[in-house]
């Protein structure tokens, strides 16, 4: 039986999960994959981890190059994260003729093409199932079972931290700061939550999914992003009254002009399959021209779930190595679709205005929307105490440009104290 040697670089949360999985099931992998897959080398900057993880000292190094250059290593697992060292690790490993398994969304969303090209040139595998949705199989299904479809939509809740926060805001009326503090206390959010709450993590993931789903490369910098920092509990409340749930959605659609892609807090009907996905769970919703609606649900983060995807990729690559089938499915970006400017977006909008409680204000503001051909689906007026009221509009399908110019004009009205919130709604 062919022996496949694996080197693991980065012994953080996911790395320790991978070690745990190999300890539990390493033996079974031999019978299941028909390959003897072995984790034989480990690298991390922090040598404390070698001890805490109970690794044999002589198998460990603080110098990742020692793993990449080791002629006995067939597969390198990159779990360093980020786009600096991780980039060097992955490129060096591929150039050394080794296949690579990574969970690195940032790297794949920024340098995916470069990484794929290196793998292609070397005729090795690059696998990255863990980069999106933790343990949820989504990249595999898109590249294999669903490959006969023209994918029209791939859309999801792909960040567990913000979904936990939004769930708490919706269920118990917590404000942003309290929800964040709670998420941090539970270890769901990092000390610096920027990547999560500002939507960058979700943006990287949807860039990867869109690239595969639409067979056309989309990079992180092409994804318009809005996070949840400015979201108010009152908006979640009003949305609920109108039959919506607010989720941080990562949305990608194939449209006539190319690709519509974006990340922002979004109102979706409470009857939509994604509306029931709460807490730290993730779900990716896919519509294909043949398969119709599908959804993939599971734990989007955490040590073992992400490690499950990494280990699955390792076994897959090991099978390919043993049967001399590397490079079976390389880069699938065979088309060149352009990404639509968000200004050209047409969707429904939720708009909350803080206005003076005086006759004629509703008429005046509604008038402005009409002047910009933004037609209104519903409006509710809410007393907020004192001389002000909230005017909450949901529009019919309108262009982002028209809505924005209407809002600029409305802001100038002396009866309008402030533009409260503008959220996009998905009418599914």
* Residues assigned a catalytic role: 205
If the CB atoms of residues 21 and 76 are measured against its own copies, the closer one turns out to be 21
Least distance in angstroms from the C-beta of 91 to its own copies:
24
Nearest in space to 6 (alpha carbons), one of 76, 101, 80, 86: 76
Angle between helices 13-33 and 303-322 in degrees, nearest 10: 40
Pick the stretch among 1-9, 94-102, 291-299, 409-417 that binds its own copies (CB under 8 A). 291-299
CA gap 134, 104 in Å, rounded: 11
Least distance in angstroms from the C-beta of 147 to its own copies:
5
Work out whether 129 is an interface residue with its own copies (CB under 8 A): yes
Asked whether 108 and 128 are in contact (CB, 8 A), the reply is yes
CA gap 113, 331 in Å, rounded: 8
CA gap 424, 235 in Å, rounded: 12
The neighbouring-strand residues paired with 3 are: 36
Pick the stretch among 285-293, 362-370, 373-381, 416-424 that binds its own copies (CB under 8 A). 285-293
Work out whether 188 is an interface residue with its own copies (CB under 8 A): no
Work out whether 314 is an interface residue with its own copies (CB under 8 A): yes
CA gap 167, 173 in Å, rounded: 9
Pick the stretch among 22-30, 71-79, 152-160, 220-228 that binds its own copies (CB under 8 A). 22-30
Work out whether 323 is an interface residue with its own copies (CB under 8 A): yes
Q: What is the DSSP letter of 74?
A: -
Other CB atoms within 10 Å distance of the CB of residue 406: 23
If the CB atoms of residues 177 and 324 are measured against its own copies, the closer one turns out to be 324
Applying CB under 8 A, among 10, 15, 17, 227 the residue interacting with its own copies is: 17
Applying CB under 8 A, among 233, 243, 273, 279 the residue interacting with its own copies is: 273
Work out whether 128 is an interface residue with its own copies (CB under 8 A): no
Work out whether 159 is an interface residue with its own copies (CB under 8 A): no
Work out whether 141 is an interface residue with its own copies (CB under 8 A): yes
Applying CB under 8 A, among 195, 304, 339, 368 the residue interacting with its own copies is: 304
| Contact track, its own copies, 84-123, x by CB under 8 A | ----------------------------------------
Long-range Cβ contacts of 286-289 (<8 Å, 24+ apart): 286/142, 286/146, 286/151, 286/153, 286/154, 286/155, 286/213, 287/151, 287/152, 287/153, 287/154, 288/146, 288/149, 288/150, 288/151, 288/152, 289/149, 289/150, 289/151, 289/152
Which residues are near its own copies by CB under 8 A?
A: 17, 20-21, 24-25, 28-29, 31-33, 129, 135-137, 140-141, 144-150, 215, 273, 276, 281, 288-299, 302, 304-305, 307-309, 311-316, 319-320, 323-325, 327-329, 332, 334
């Amino acid at each position: 039986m062919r022996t496949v040697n694996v080197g693991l670089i980065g012994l953080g949360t996911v790395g320790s999960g991978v070690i745990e999985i190999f300890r539990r099931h390493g033996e079974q992998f031999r019978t299941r994959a028909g390959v003897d897959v072995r984790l034989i080398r480990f690298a991390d900057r922090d040598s404390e981890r070698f001890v805490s993880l109970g690794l044999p000292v002589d198998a460990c190094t603080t110098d990742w190059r020692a793993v990449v250059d080791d002629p006995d290593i067939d597969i390198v697992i990159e779990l360093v994260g980020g786009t600096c060292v991780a980039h060097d690790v992955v490129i060096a490993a591929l150039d050394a003729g080794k296949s690579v398994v990574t969970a690195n969304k940032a790297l794949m969303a920024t340098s995916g093409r470069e990484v794929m090209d290196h793998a292609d040139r070397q005729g090795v595998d690059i696998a990255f199932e863990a980069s999106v949705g933790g343990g949820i199989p989504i990249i595999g299904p898109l590249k294999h079972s669903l490959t006969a479809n023209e994918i029209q939509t791939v859309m999801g809740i792909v960040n567990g931290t913000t979904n936990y926060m939004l769930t708490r805001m919706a269920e118990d009326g917590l404000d942003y700061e309290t929800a964040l503090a709670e998420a941090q206390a539970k270890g769901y959010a990092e000390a610096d939550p920027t990547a999560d709450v500002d939507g960058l993590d979700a943006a990287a993931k949807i860039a990867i999914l869109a690239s595969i789903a639409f067979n056309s490369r989309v990079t992180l910098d092409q994804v318009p992003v809005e996070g949840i920092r400015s979201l108010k509990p009152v908006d979640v409340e009003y949305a609920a009254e109108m039959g919506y749930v607010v989720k941080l959605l990562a949305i990608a659609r194939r449209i006539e002009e190319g690709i519509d892609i974006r990340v922002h807090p979004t109102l979706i009907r409470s009857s939509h399959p994604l509306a029931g996905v709460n807490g730290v769970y993730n779900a990716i919703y896919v519509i294909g021209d043949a398969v119709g609606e599908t959804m993939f649900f599971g734990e989007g983060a955490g040590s073992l779930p992400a490690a499950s995807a990494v280990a699955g990729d390792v076994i897959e690559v090991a099978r390919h190595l043993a049967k001399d089938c590397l490079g079976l499915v390389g880069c699938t970006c065979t088309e060149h679709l352009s990404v639509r400017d968000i200004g050209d977006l047409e969707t429904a909008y939720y708009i909350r205005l803080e206005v003076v409680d005086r006759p004629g204000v509703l008429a005046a503001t509604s008038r402005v929307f009409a002047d910009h051909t933004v037609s209104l689906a519903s409006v509710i007026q809410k007393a907020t105490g004192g001389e002000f009221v909230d005017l909450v509009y949901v529009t019919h399908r309108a262009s982002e440009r028209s809505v924005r110019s209407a809002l600029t004009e409305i802001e100038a009205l002396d009866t309008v104290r402030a533009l409260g919130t503008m959220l996009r709604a998905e009418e599914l």
